[in-house]
Structure 1
Amino acid sequence: MDLQIAAALVPLLGWAVHGGVLTHRLAAARRDPLTGLHTRAGWTARAEHCIRRHPATAVLLVDLDHFKDLNDTHRHAAGDAALIATADRLRTWCGRHGTAGRLGGDEFVAVVQDLAAVDLDALTTALHRPLPYNGVSLPLAASVGVCRLAELPVPLLTDALAAADAAMYAAKGRGRRGSRLSR
């Protein structure tokens, strides 16, 4: 009798292990391998959830300024270090109030439950702090565009991203230092 039970449990154990491996792979696919931030798909799911639950939600787009120059001058390892530092600074700033993600390249995104609960100037300051790297100080700079969902006629993530993108490019046009709210 014990042999029959064991024989029946072996396939179940195999399926449980297989399911665990697939779950782990799916979770890993929703994380950027370099920064550990959510990828677009993982971030989007969290952002949509935040929008449904919190009426004061804001979406931010962050783009590193002069990233190509940094990569060309100090090489790709320095560029990777800059991306990792930016991701860490954005993740820390979001804290328990939001979720950060990496869209790709040097573009990052965040959603926060309430912009009034976080200090946007602190984010800008953190993103502009130089990065110590191999005995040199790498200059970092970023442009930030912000959209409060409450300012949109219909609070849709796609519209918020478009408005934050426009605000980010307006911030770049103002000298690449700081952030800008959509209007």
Structure 2
Amino acid sequence: MTAIQFLAAFLLFNGHDLLAGGFVLFNVVVLADVVAIYDLRAVRLRERLAQLRVDLDVAHTDSVTGLAVRRLAERRLFEAAGSDVTVAVIDVDGMHDINATHTHAGGDAYLLSLAERLCCAAEPGDLVARLGGDEFALITQRDPVALEQSLASALAIPTTMDGVARPVRVSIGICRAPGGDPHTALGRADRAMYTAKRSGSGTEHYDPVRDGEPLPAYVRPAVRRRTTNGDDESVDRR
């Protein structure tokens, strides 16, 4: 029952007392007007909140693929701190050539087909996101080997461009963060992906020796070049 309906019922059963004094009836009418104004404001507030929810969904959704955006992926990793998380970073091979041959509209269609295949590789509770450009991520609690197998099966299905079947070619980096910092796993998976891209292997799992860690920000301009020339040079920590 709304406030106005309540007032109407109240007047129906108590009208003889209220009508005895015009002043009282006047105040009841004024009160009804005030309630109507607040009801209108409540409706507008609900409409505004609904629009804000829509805007929030748009802000967290990629316009081309419909996937989550990088911000949402990073939030998921932050919330997963302390738990076992596996991250896969997937980057399209030859995206520049695809755009040049099939226009950017064709490139967007290719990205959408890739997004659909990544969603096929995902399980309930996983998150698939477009990190930006032609780079994607899949965040899961599954074992890295199981994730690699799921991705291989889903990406084995070719896509169609201009009526011609085209294989989906990507480079994938996978990293497991067992109870550590899952946010770091995103950067490590990214480095493993670039290793896969350089070697042409398709998929690589993060290797701390091979992929290494980025040097701290304070190391500049000289760095330790043992890995390149075998000498252990001094490090300038200015």
1:39 aligned to which of 66, 69, 74: 69
CA distance in 2, matches of 1:61, 1:116: 12
TM-superposition CA deviations, 1:97-148 (whole Å, max 9, x none): 4101001110001110122684412313422432113311233201110110
For these two proteins, the number of residue pairs brought into alignment is 177
Match of 2:211 in 1: none
Match of 2:97 in 1: 69
Larger-Rg structure: 2
The alignment status of 1:23 with 2:53, answered yes or no, reads yes
Q: CA deviation at 1:47?
A: 2.5
Q: CA deviation at 1:38?
A: 0.6
Q: TM-score, normalised by structure 2?
A: 0.68
| Percent of paired sites with the same residue | 31
Q: TM-score, normalised by structure 1?
A: 0.87
Match of 2:22 in 1: none
- Greater shift in the superposed pair: 134-143 or 62-71: 134-143
Q: Give the CA RMSD over aligned residues.
A: 2.0
The alignment status of 1:106 with 2:134, answered yes or no, reads yes
Asked if the contact 2:175–2:188 (Cα under 8 Å) also holds between the matched residues in 1, the reply is yes
1:49 aligned to which of 74, 79, 101: 79
CA distance in 1, matches of 2:87, 2:144: 13
CA distance in 2, matches of 1:13, 1:97: 35
CA distance in 1, matches of 2:198, 2:132: 22
TM-superposition CA deviations, 1:153-177 (whole Å, max 9, x none): x822342122111111111122152
Q: Which amino acid aligns with 1:44?
A: E
CA distance in 1, matches of 2:154, 2:145: 17
1:9 aligned to which of 23, 35, 39: 39
Alignment CA distance shift 1:35-1:43 (3 Å): same
Runs (4 or more) in structure 1 with deviation over 3 Å come to 1-4, 116-119
Q: Which blocks of at least 5 consecutive residues in structure 1 are unaligned?
A: none
Alignment CA distance shift 1:51-1:127 (3 Å): farther
Q: Which amino acid aligns with 2:165?
A: S
